[in-house]
Structure 1
């Protein structure tokens, strides 16, 4: 309809009929305003019904960000939508089919499962395989305190903050510097030896029945390779853990539990397969650090893990006035490359311990998302819905690992990010919490949780003030 009205206005303009042109223009503007009101109401309903997928689909259509997906059959859409709402981190059933698999393969699985579900309703029977469950106890003792993955009250920010604490505390002393080895494994999850894992689980006092179940889960797995329409014959594998399985990172964390540093001047931080070796060097004495790096390579060889020497890099943090040239680290006869910056568990660390590069990355992402907020504002959505969108899409980016970097960021960088918050305030027309307020709130909440957890590696860093 709008296309025809626009064409009518252009025809009137070409004819030179001013009255007809004014009438066509007014009619077109009236219909455009009505269409915007209708679309704004639709967006409001989508927000109210907690349907972010539909909201993003509309945004992409408005901004021409991406062509919307073609429509599908209604009979299969219900199953498809349910699969897509699965949470990736939920555990799989005994069949090993993870929610991540259902979510990723929703389009392919919806036709099959819709037939299964309809048949089940038709027969008034639930298949027995749908009613099975497995309970897997997780050991809580004898675990490496510097392994932060899959641990209660542990987070990525805790790992980064503790690593920075080790570094900064050490650099306060004269004649010191730090060497950080960021370790990369080649196909880490694919190299787990099931029998060796079972031995390690037994040492952690995991019940033997669970150990046997996990061994059975990891062995005699059938794998198929498909290239286009060509399907190769299946192969049986007894090594590694399935990619995408919710258990794989946990099993890898337990598999590497005995990989620790023996020297107090060398810290080994782990988050699943992300491993970082921090050498706290005093007066140029690097023997402990180099020995621990060598022992790490030996441990990997004994446990069937392959170090990717091309992606394993080192960063040297040295604030001495006239630092001498340092001998590069070598692992397995390969020289480890030195880097100026590295993305450490989501936070970009630089060798000068400044956060300019990290904040540049955050600012770029937030700026892109402000555009979507502006597009929503043009449809006159209520302020409350715009604030919800801002909190979920923009604030979440600005506050990523904020407890790590905000306290050390320069004022110019924090002001730059705060200006983005102010821009969002002007678009919404309502006040928003400042970054300082968000940072203070999150630090307090995190400190309270750590302070009541004596097993947390950061717990000793908190000293209660005298009452």
Structure 2
């Protein structure tokens, strides 16, 4: 289905171009704007569109002379494919197109926001979007500038092949209207396609004239509908100053296609039957095999893995994908399947015998089946609350939200297995440019590193392993090893010791499967795929034991310097964010100071590591000979095969780089770069230490207070990279000059090997967008957009489900606040940012179907949902106090104490809050400090509640000004259904869709139904309107109610009759207004 959107700048002047109408005939649906035709003239031009059903929206003409303004023409071809049905519909006085295709129902929303009446047009569009479900295609001339705004999370872009996370645009202007439109997109789960699709990768101009060029013709698609988008383009036509935009949708049956990101390999599925019987079956099987008598450790290990496969419930069917079809419902497990089979069995018996006895057996079995299903479903949705409660990081949130994405972009790749093999062979075997290192390998020994592997080490590694992880070639996931009997684990330990003592690993430990994961661009180009590597779980268990020993050795000997925080227990990205922010704020607290930062990006850093240089560096740092020998065995003959739809390719060897998927790789990389800080020199002195750079794995930022020093550091970095085989990616490596204001000097320029390095005004460092003044506006804008998208992703599967309790829905919101909004709040959470509170208002408005004008203070007071700031300041307080107790060598602790000494940044705010609330605290008394900071948080929460209450008590709120202070029977709880909560909420807060609003003084506020000439407010609607008196009698027992009686109704506890009355009365009111146009 091809859809065209085009601002034609007048239809009459297109009559001289026959090719224009030929062009339109290429599309099934067309939306043309600015026809400049008033309604009475439209019929004259229908003859030019013989192949279309037409819908005209007349242009407006305010003066008798001159042309009309605006005008829209919508067209639907009169010969569509048999499985596609389209029709014009009008919703909220907006003409749109309803499409039904391949069991999908969605809306195409043509948009023309007139420049002269933009605010009114946009308000109508906003109301329309709040009424529609999230399956929309919105396109047209929005007369707003968006720049490159709207970055979407990786989990959306990775699964939707059309998209990239960030948008490109040749129009760099962002105006107020653009910000309003972007906020509507976030609220309505709309993803902008301009500048992020295959057909428009650069964000081409859609308006080109002598006055300027811009991107104002936009196409947006609901996130849940992205899988239907085939392509989006900005076309090149010269009929007008605007360029037409085109979106292509496809509705082929997904069963006829292969998914690009299809499941990797057959894997053993851990089932309920395995929980009951696997351990005993494996123990008996192993005892019969006499594994220990073979004398060959590799053969013994193969015997054990084969026994695991044979004893698994689905082991005999391994490799047959048909046995592993996932259920439509995630709660539908093997027990549900079992009772369904029993129900069908009795149904077939009843059909054959047709007597009451077999009928009763069937009904009993079917009732049991339904009972089990309902129980599993309820248990599943109750458990979601706990799952969301555990979420603290955005990655965990997106991983959980992926469960609720019901669509995937489907396509058929034409890339052969051999093409993939050749591509990854070259990628994983780069040419080494560094000189070969020749050295006499020292014979270091270490008692802890070289000792015998124990059962407790294996169990410890198994305890850290996560379930539901993809296995390697042997198809055995962690769950089976976790449930092995102890005698089997002891045999595995014995086998591991044999490998460790001999210094030789089996071939299977060096093998991995690479899965080509599509990124973006042409699906038929190998360059648009990245590899994900999978290694046998038993090999990862062996590596996990080595990893724990390596960490213990590093920590005991203080090998890693404090500037490396990547993949390090007790360290995190926020440590470096906190350190960077504090360092900058301390330096900039002095006048005319600057901090120069070079954010370094290495090209394929993990893949380019010279293994010879790695082992040299490990030996140089004192790692034992025995440990290095086993590492060499793991890396000596690494072999890779590529998964493809045709199967597995032939293996090929790799001799460069660290192994993806190996548990040891991140730490080995950190050890490889461990000498970088010392090598580059310079840096800056602060709080008695010299800070030169901060490293998080391969994310490096070099810091200094002098532009000359920075260039010297860059030169040293370049020399380091040449010596150790690393490459700086200048396209992504940037410099930022942190300063309080003013322009940069023309001498502040830097280069690598004569190539200039770009100086930028914003940079995303470890997931947080920083600017020269450390302002967080851009970061918050992106995080708010992601948070709304995260909430929208769950809406149909969680928020609107009756069987999901209210508390679980709240927990989803809190998890989004923690993982998305609150990221980095350890550094900035002491301040309140009003833009972040918009997410709370958005959630409450959407959950209870409230109008956009609903005041935030009423929403906060009625729900009692705490502010985002109450969470972020807690995170900040807890983080700082935790580091004040940590050893003095930790960077965040050093910088935190310096901030306290200088009374700047967050500590200055602490002192202000303490003075405001008359709370004195001492930094040296940690227990007392915790109590005092808790008191400050309580006072802040109390202050917000008092403010909200004072606003709610304004006289303009006839009812709520008294309800907000009275005792109400709780209705926002797990025992109340969401629909009832919505109606009660609207009634209590005076947010029903009536003519009179509490803040309005308009003469049109009078009741649309009765002739009493009274304001149609909530009190009149519930207690007085004569037209509704019969319904009032039926549901509430009286013809009319006094104000006092209405207040009593709105305080509960008899909510049922009130909800029924308001629902029926609202529907009746809408029907009367629609029928008689009141």
**Partner secondary structure for residue 278 of structure 1:** strand
Q: 2:806 aligns with which of 373, 383, 399?
A: 383
Are 1:404 and 2:827 counterparts? yes
Q: 2:722 aligns with which of 301, 304, 312?
A: 301
C-alpha spacing 1:340/1:452, structure 2 compared with 1 (3 Å): same
Q: 1:82-97 residue pairs with structure 2 within 5 A?
A: none
Give, in whole Å, the separation in 2 of the partners of 1:345 and 1:312: 14
CA displacement, residues 200-250 of structure 1 (integer Å, 9 cap, x when unaligned): 223433333222222332222123456664866543333211113222111
**Partner secondary structure for residue 176 of structure 1:** coil
Q: CA deviation at 1:450?
A: 1.6
Partner in structure 2 of residue 459 of structure 1: 893
Partner in structure 1 of residue 667 of structure 2: 250
Q: 1:108-187 residue pairs with structure 2 within 5 A?
A: 110=475, 132=496, 133=542, 134-135=545-546, 136-138=549-551, 139-140=554-555, 141-187=558-604
Give, in whole Å, the separation in 2 of the partners of 1:270 and 1:226: 34
**Does the Cα contact within 8 Å between 1:161 and 1:404 map onto a contact in 2?**
yes
Q: CA deviation at 1:459?
A: 1.6
Deviates more, 1:424-433 or 1:150-159: 424-433
Are 1:263 and 2:696 counterparts? no
Kindly indicate whether structure 1 or structure 2 has the higher relative contact order, using CA contacts under 8 Å at least 6 residues apart.
1
**Partner secondary structure for residue 270 of structure 1:** strand
Partner in structure 2 of residue 75 of structure 1: none
**Partner secondary structure for residue 145 of structure 1:** coil
**Partner secondary structure for residue 325 of structure 1:** coil
**Does the Cα contact within 8 Å between 2:837 and 2:868 map onto a contact in 1?**
no
Give, in whole Å, the separation in 2 of the partners of 1:296 and 1:416: 44
Q: TM-score, normalised by structure 1?
A: 0.71
C-alpha spacing 1:267/1:298, structure 2 compared with 1 (3 Å): same
**Does the Cα contact within 8 Å between 2:401 and 2:793 map onto a contact in 1?**
no
Q: 1:258-297 residue pairs with structure 2 within 5 A?
A: 258-260=675-677, 261-265=680-684, 267-281=692-706, 286-297=707-718
Deviates more, 1:411-420 or 1:242-251: 411-420
**Partner secondary structure for residue 269 of structure 1:** strand
Partner in structure 1 of residue 838 of structure 2: 416
Gaps of 5+ in 1: 1-37, 69-90
Give, in whole Å, the separation in 2 of the partners of 1:336 and 1:142: 33
**Partner secondary structure for residue 185 of structure 1:** coil
**Partner secondary structure for residue 137 of structure 1:** helix
Q: CA deviation at 1:256?
A: 0.3
**Does the Cα contact within 8 Å between 2:762 and 2:769 map onto a contact in 1?**
yes
C-alpha spacing 1:154/1:201, structure 2 compared with 1 (3 Å): same
C-alpha spacing 1:321/1:219, structure 2 compared with 1 (3 Å): same
Are 1:335 and 2:760 counterparts? no
Q: CA deviation at 1:345?
A: 0.3
The aligned length equals 390
Give, in whole Å, the separation in 1 of the partners of 2:842 and 2:374: 24
Q: CA deviation at 1:101?
A: 12
Give, in whole Å, the separation in 2 of the partners of 1:250 and 1:58: 31
Two-structure CA RMSD over aligned residues (Å): 4.0
Give, in whole Å, the separation in 2 of the partners of 1:227 and 1:303: 34
Q: CA deviation at 1:56?
A: 6.0
C-alpha spacing 1:44/1:165, structure 2 compared with 1 (3 Å): same
Q: CA deviation at 1:354?
A: 1.2
Give, in whole Å, the separation in 2 of the partners of 1:56 and 1:367: 13
C-alpha spacing 1:377/1:41, structure 2 compared with 1 (3 Å): farther
Give, in whole Å, the separation in 1 of the partners of 2:743 and 2:404: 54
CA displacement, residues 288-338 of structure 1 (integer Å, 9 cap, x when unaligned): 111111111111111111112222122223334454324421112221122
Gaps of 5+ in 2: 1-371, 388-397, 411-456, 497-541, 685-690, 850-858, 901-921, 926-1078
Q: 1:358-373 residue pairs with structure 2 within 5 A?
A: 358-372=779-793
Give, in whole Å, the separation in 2 of the partners of 1:39 and 1:67: 30
Give, in whole Å, the separation in 2 of the partners of 1:172 and 1:249: 37
Give, in whole Å, the separation in 1 of the partners of 2:467 and 2:726: 26
